[in-house]
Structure 1
Amino acid sequence: MAHLDFTQPPFDVLSMAERQSIRKNTQIRYLAKSESLLAEELQCLYVVIKGQIEQSLDGEFVGSYLGSNHSDHLNNNDWFDSRRLPESSANGNPNTEALQTYQFTATEDTLLLQIAGSAVGKISAQNHLVRQMLSDKLPERLKALQQRRNHKVTNPNAYNDQQEVQQIMLQPVIDVSLLPVHIVDASNSLYDAACIMTQVGLKHVLVRPSNPSDNTEDKHHGTGHMLGILTDTDICRAVSEQQNPATTTCQRYANFNLRTINATDEIGDALLTMTRYRIHRLPVIDHNGDVAGVLGQSDMLAHIGHHSQLISIQIEQAKDLSSLNTAVELIGRYIRVQHQNGVKIGNISRMVQTLNAQVFTKLWQLIVPDEVMANTCLIVMGSEGRGEQIMRTDQDNALIMRDGYTHDDLAQFADTFNSHLATLGYPLCDGNIMMTNPMWRQPLKAFNAQISWWFKNTDPMHGIYLSAILDGEYVCGDESLLTQVRQHLKVAHRQSDPMFVRQFARAALQFGDVNQWWQKFVPLLGGKADSHDIDLKKAGIFPLVHGIRTLALENDILEVPSTKNRLKALVKNQALTQERADNLLEALEFFMAQRLSVALSTDDRHARQVNPTTLTALERDLLKECLSVVKSFKTQLRQHYQLEIA
């Protein structure tokens, strides 16, 4: 009798007692060619020993599971959980498919190990890793894959340390020891504020504005959003300007453009905010809108022991292209270490976006005079703008200029910027979507006029250009210029043909579904290994990104370029269910993680192709599931926008 391989998932995490229970509840099941599992047998976990099983739903192919006889490259057998139900329907109604079940049919004579579902269920209730691997929820199974990858770290101590760091990064900021809140009135003198700082041992106080109506922050919350901050540095500046601290008010030197963070936000979000805006203190706002405390940078860094801040300092201190290149190389090492240590891909990509933005800002500062910086807005687009770029691929950037402002050397500055970025390892854009192209270096009024023209959809490239600008994210300069472009995007869309968004959505369907790659393994066809690779970008990433981008455009969600934040807004607008949004995001991040794995193992900057035969059974199962999520989402788009193309 064939035996279970307890070195392979999901059985490699079982205790000795759990393995013994599985052995007692396992039997051989033989299926002749074209024979299907009976309805009463769809409550078991199966391992394919020899042969091949085809999974279908209402006669439509879903996937295949192979025995080890089909490939010398696969050192483990595929397994499937027949208890798993189809994904919830595309329209968000969980009852639509609740009564449906998958069908499993042998495409040749097949031997299976059949494990009783009752035994698996009992073990799942006690073993969270097994429960995650067999979960109906895609996010849970992806967590299991992440944990399995973490176990491959050769240094257990490094693994444990990194796991602790990742867990801490996901904790709410309220878990960090916060600095106490001390508030002074804006009419108080700097001397009064300094006395309070000295008495309580702080380097700052919060400042209550004299006229709250002048504050531009959100007034729909408590007083926390209306406060300013005064630091010891501000008082030193006043003294250096020969101001009398006893008579000079806090109002004059306090900063009321205050960055805050919610108490329920993650520590990782706080780190990103501090790193991006180069600030050292964040007032923490509670559910009433009041300040619960102040998060200090040193306290937070001590809490998490993270080293991205060191790269940020290296970038800030760069004086020339050579020293900036050193910082860029550190970003590459940071990516590799974080991925190898099992940090979630979304956390890596968002931090890399922040660090890259600092690189671009520093480079622009090294090239242009302050006058240009003050009158222009540098933005990045595409995956860099969405915060979903990890490895350095093609540049996508633009320069928005203030109306009426000119500089004779702007074209030269743009050329220097793009060429220096290429030297730093950010390749030039093949589509020329860069500020060296005059189309992407224009005054605000001309930029907006061009956007209006693109919405007329007179050229296939216009959809590509609009996709780029919709993903635009601020890097440096006058951010209000980008804000005005985003406002114009709303206006231009509302003034466009009502059918525009329907045509815009078609791009998400332009690549065919990858339905039957499971049947195209090399040993079955005798072809070359790379001839059946899956293009992760075409099959997974692009349909998800562009489909979500289209839904965001339809719902006037133009303030946030990232797919994650678009999904949040779509859920808030009730355009998607929370479960649907979670599955879409998890699938996207799975594809991103696979691309990064390819990039790190091959040094291929495009890193789009993955060979299914190189994946473990668990990874193949998740790849199938994520591709099924993409297929279901494309069906949803096709129905929603009434698109007839397949």
Structure 2
Amino acid sequence: MPHLDFTQPPFDVLSAAERQSIKKNTQVRYLAKDEILPADDLQYFYVVLKGHVEQLLDGTFVTSYLGNDHTAHLNSNDWFDSRRLPKPMPEDGLQESNLQKNIDKSELITPYQFRAVEDTLLLQVNGTTIDKLSAQNHFVRQLLSENLPERLKALQLRRSGQHLDAASSASDDPQEVQQIMLQPVIDITLLPVHIVDADNSLYQAARTMTEAGLKHVLVRPTDHWQDANSSDRTLGILTDNDICRAVSDQQNPATTPCQNYASFNLRTIDADDEIGDALLTMTRYRIHRLPMIDTHGKVIGVLGQSDMLAHIGHHSQLISIEIEQATDLPSLATAVELIGRYIRAQHQNGIKMGNVSRMVQTLNAQVFTKLWQLIVPDDVMENTCVIVMGSEGRGEQIMRTDQDNALIIRDGYDHPELAKFTDTFNQHLADLGYPLCDGNIMMNNPMWRQPLKAFKAQIGTWFKNTEPMHSIYLSAIFDGEYVCGDESLLIQVREHLKTAHRQSDLMFVRQFARAALQFGDINQWWQKLVPLLGGKPSAYTIDLKKSGIFPLVHGIRTLALEHDIFSDPSSKGRLKALVQTHALTQERADTLLEALEFFMAQRLSVALSTDNKYAKEVDPTTLSALERDLLKECLAVVKSFKAQLSRHYQLEIG
């Protein structure tokens, strides 16, 4: 999700909900020098993040749009709507004939062209999203209107301060991508410089790498010292991949000189260049290291892509770029580590937990998609659907806990290596830090890797049987969310869930609801906090998952099942739908969601402050007075909700 500067027009008039909407529909776009936006991309709204774009009409210059690296003030990025067409003028200023009125003028109008004068980064916003915002926010509509009087009116409103109410909280957003892009690269921690001579052996280079803990060394050309004015820009680089290539070529590392496998004519960066320049260079030339040169032409360090992205890693769009550019498991692992840094930064900045978890869900889905793409051929991608389940499917997962995934296969399709692909997928996810599921709810299990028809039959069986595991399996598939492949397969599974539920025993939902009441004695939770009130240390910890998260999640899931709500697996989406069906009041739904997100935030705090990756329990003595008070209130919400479920389904609270 890219970050726009919400202190600048036209985005400074957006409400919090509108800002969230536009973030979901924005991505970074790179244009190389002299590249022209293709016709298919003239359907977006663009913000120039860095660089320079010219607008042309029939090859004639119209105007320029600049990023803040060309402007006098920070965050004064230009923007343009590429969909806007030149206004047609009646020939000779005469009134149009009836024949002319029946002609579609848009077919006769040549659209504008947009050319990058230099390497440029753009924020590309979905045009439909802009239209929706314009329809619901009159300030946006006026600012983006093609009608000059409307825009002048918007300017008058801005000068009078009438637009500020719509943007009163815009300045509370964390530092945006634009500001990071203008920071000097020298602010980033550099890799140390280790140089070997071109005629040194590969063995000597490998030993230097090992001792330095690096995956590369710089290589000094043979004639480097012959020129007194020689610059370190002429150095080459040798990486561990180059040495592996030499070994695969059956070369003797002890006798093969470095110059045979080193790369010269390196791309470099100056110490006073900006982070945006480094990102552009790495993106354009698909490189991961940039030697940094000082004013005397000497290398002072090497800028690594992972270190640069770690520096700016709390910006989700840049993590998305890293995921998209990943070509193997190690490069994908770098992106996964950045997700962890993003989570920590967002939590420290006080960002609402629901927003963080949904962004993490999006980033994780991109990781899973990229990994599946790296493993399977195109025909497998086209004929299968990868889904995630459980908290990952609901968008309520923060830490990297157990995998829950499945593969739906198109009926009639088969591939002899499908089982191998799924084993590789699950194992690689484990290597990336997503642990294997103890309950084996993963696609390498044949039960969770089936054709659509078989999945439907299995779901029908689960609804007819009262075994506890079947309720667990149904809970998992209820929470299923699309990752990649053919989404229509998941849609058909959801439709079958609705059908199978309607055909099930009327008492099924009642039995299904029991799980929400099975953990903990809800009448005892306050006693665990009583010692704190007297200043005595508590000998108890509270299981946040059993006492708080699970009863809320499963209770909401059960109510959604009862009311045929299958389209959105998230607790937030289910609560919204339950309000629409009048199953819950808006106030009740808001309270349940706030309590759920509080428990999630507490789990994250425990995970970030300890080595406990599961972070299920919290010791109340470690909390502040305010946190303990909030914990008490949220546990009271759980108690009330479980009592509500018990009455509704006529169950005994255990």
Using the size of structure 1 for normalisation, the TM-score is 0.57
Alpha-carbon spacing, 1:622–1:366, altered in 2? closer, same or farther (3 Å): same
Report what 1:78 is aligned to.
none
Q: Does 1:471 align with 2:476?
A: no
Q: Is the 8 A contact 1:197 1:205 kept in 2?
A: no
Q: Pick from 562, 570, 574: which aligns with 1:566?
A: 574
Q: What SS does structure 2 have at the residue aligned with 1:546?
A: helix
1:284 CA displacement: 3.1
Partner of 1:285: 132
What aligned pairs does 1:92-107 form with structure 2 within 5 A after superposition?
Answer: none
CA distance in structure 1 between the partners assigned to 2:410 and 2:577 by the alignment? 30
The structure with more radius of gyration: 2
Conservation of the 8 A alpha-carbon contact between 1:281 and 1:294? no
- Partners of 2:361 and 2:397 within 8 A in 1: yes
1:417 aligns with 2:263: no
Report the 3-state secondary structure (helix = DSSP H, G, I; strand = E; otherwise coil) of the residue aligned with 1:379: strand
Please tell me the residue identity of whatever aligns with 2:18: P
Deviation at 1:340, TM superposition (A): 1.4
Summarize the Cα distance change of 1:634–1:514 in structure 2 as closer, same or farther, 3 Å threshold.
closer
Partner residue in 1 for 2:322: 314
Given the alignment, which residue of 477, 500, 506 partners 2:508?
500
Give the counterpart of 1:333 among 314, 334, 341. 341
Residues matched between the structures, number: 409
Shift of residue 525 of structure 1?
14
Alpha-carbon offset, residue 642 of structure 1: 1.2
Q: 1:594 to 1:197 in 2, by over 3 A?
A: farther
Q: Deviations over 1:62-117 (max 9, x none)?
A: xxxxxxxxxxxxxxxxxxxxxxxxxxxxxxxxxxxxxxxxxxxxxxxxxxxxxxxx
1:593-612 pair list within 5 angstroms: 593-612=601-620
Equivalent residue for 2:378, pick from 370, 390, 393: 370
Please tell me whether the aligned partners of residues 203 and 232 of structure 1 are also in contact (alpha carbons under 8 angstroms). no
CA contact (8 A) 1:197 1:203 kept: no
Q: Quote how far apart the aligned CAs of 1:205 are.
A: 2.4
Q: Deviation per CA, 1:390-417, whole angstroms, max 9, x where unpaired?
A: 0000000000000000000000000000
Counterparts of 1:641 and 1:195 in 2: how far apart (Å)? Answer: 68
**Residues 635 and 167 (structure 1 numbering): CA distance in 2 closer, same or farther, change over 3 Å?**
farther
Encode CA deviations 1:1-56: one digit per residue, 9 max, x unaligned. xxxxxxxxxxxxxxxxxxxxxxxxxxxxxxxxxxxxxxxxxxxxxxxxxxxxxxxx
Q: CA deviation at 1:576?
A: 0.2
Residue 413 of structure 2 is aligned to residue 405 of structure 1 = yes
Shift of 1:513: 3.2
Q: CA deviation at 1:523?
A: 6.8
1:490 aligns with 2:498: yes
3-state DSSP of counterpart to 2:131: strand
Please point out which of 67, 83, 86 is paired with 1:205.
83
* Residues 130-168 of structure 1: per-residue CA shift (max 9 Å, x gap): xxxxxxxxxxxxxxxxxxxxxxxxxxxxxxx9xxx9998
Question: For each residue in 1:558-578, what CA deviation from the matched residue of structure 2 results, as whole angstroms up to 9, or x when unmatched?
Answer: 000000011011001110000
- Deviations 1:223-249 (Å, cap 9, x if unpaired)? xxxxxxxx999999xxxxxxxxxxxxx
Name 2:470's counterpart in structure 1: 462
Q: Secondary structure at the match of 1:532?
A: coil
Greater alpha carbon shift after TM alignment, 404-413 vs 193-202: 193-202
Cα distance in 1 for partners of 2:614, 2:591 equals 25
Helix, strand or coil for the counterpart of 1:629? helix
Cα distance, 1:206 vs structure 2: 7.8
Letter in 2 for 1:582: D
Distance in 1 between residues matched to 2:343 and 2:13, nearest whole Å = 18
Partner Cα separation in structure 2 for residue 498 and residue 443 of structure 1: 28
Tell me which of 172, 184, 188 is aligned to 2:18: 172
Give 2:635's aligned residue.
627
Relative to 1, partners in 2 of residues 1:380 and 1:167: Cα closer, same or farther, differing over 3 Å? Answer: farther
Partner of 1:388: 396
1:575 corresponds in structure 2 to: 583
Task: Tell me by how many angstroms 1:294 deviates.
Answer: 8.5
Whether the 8 Å CA contact 2:531–2:538 is kept in 1: the answer is no
2:551 is the counterpart of 1:543: yes
Amino acid at match of 1:285: K
Q: 1:488 to 1:539 in 2, by over 3 A?
A: same
Distance in 2 between residues matched to 1:401 and 1:355, nearest whole Å: 24
Shift of 1:170: 2.5
Q: CA RMSD in A?
A: 4.2
Measured at CA, do residues 402 and 615 of structure 1 come closer, stay the same or move farther in structure 2, by a change above 3 Å? Answer: same
User: Corresponding residue for 2:190?
Assistant: none
Question: Is residue 380–residue 472 contact of structure 1 (8 Å, CA) maintained in 2?
Answer: yes
Contact 2:354 2:396 survives alignment (8 Å):
yes
Q: What are the superposed Cα offsets for residues 185-238 of structure 1, whole Å, 9 maximum, x if unpaired?
A: xxxx99x9995998688574289xxxxxxxxxxxxxxxxxxxxxxx999999xx
- Return the alpha-carbon distance in structure 2 between the equivalents of residues 632 and 344 of structure 1: 24
Q: CA distance change for structure 1 residues 232 and 387 in 2, over 3 Å: closer, same or farther?
A: farther
Aligned match of 1:34? none
Which of 623, 648, 653 aligns to 1:640? It is 648
SS at match of 1:420: helix
Write the deviation string for residues 582-604 of structure 1: whole angstroms up to 9, x where unpaired: 10000000000110011111121
Residue identity opposite 2:429 in structure 1: L
- Aligned partner of residue 594 in structure 1, secondary structure: helix
Structure 1 unmatched runs, 5+: 1-160, 180-188, 208-230, 237-270
Give 1:517 shift: 4.2
Against the structure 1 CA distance between its residues 232 and 348, is the aligned structure 2 distance closer, same or farther, given a 3 Å change threshold? farther
Using the TM superposition, give the Cα deviation of residue 279 of structure 1 relative to its aligned residue in structure 2, in angstroms. 6.6
Report the counterpart of residue 515 of structure 1 in structure 2.
523
* Secondary structure, counterpart of 2:601 in structure 1: helix
Can you give the 5+ residue segments of structure 2 that lack an aligned partner in the other structure? 1-6, 27-38, 44-55, 65-79, 86-109, 116-122, 146-175, 182-313
Task: Look up the equivalent residue of 1:435 and give its one-letter code.
Answer: M
Residue identity (%): 70
Q: Which amino acid aligns with 1:545?
A: V
TM-score (structure 2 length as normaliser): 0.56
How much does 1:288 deviate? Answer: 6.0
Correspondence 1:149-228 to 2 at 5 A: 170=16, 172-173=18-19, 204-205=82-83
Give the equivalent residue in structure 2 for 1:618. 626
1:599-622 superposed Cα distances (whole Å, 9 cap, x missing partner): 111121110111111111111111
- Quote the residue 1:147 is aligned against: none
List per-residue Cα deviations over 1:300-320 (Å, max 9, x = no partner).
965999711000000000000
Q: Give 1:70's aligned residue.
A: none
Distance 1:169 1:341, change over 3 A: farther
- Contact 2:452 2:489 (C-alpha < 8 Å) held by counterparts: yes
Matched to 1:205, the amino acid is R
Alignment of 1:523-542 (within 5 A): 532-542=540-550
The answer to whether structure 1 residue 429 and structure 2 residue 437 are counterparts is yes
Q: Which protein has greater RCO, CA pairs closer than 8 Å, 6+ apart?
A: 1
Q: Summarize deviations over 1:446-494 as a string: whole Å, max 9, x none.
A: 0011011111133210000000000000000000000000011000000
What is the one-letter code of the residue matched to 2:83?
A: V
Is 1:532–1:611's contact at 8 Å kept on the other side of the alignment? Answer: yes
Residues 390 and 169 from structure 1, CA distance in 2 versus in 1: closer, same or farther, beyond 3 angstroms? farther
Shift in CA distance, 447/294, structure 1 to aligned 2, threshold 3 Å? farther
Cα distance in 1 for partners of 2:21, 2:418 equals 48
Distance verdict in 2 for CA 1:459–1:529, change over 3 Å: farther
1:202-281 residue pairs with structure 2 within 5 A?
Answer: 204-205=82-83
SS at match of 1:205: coil
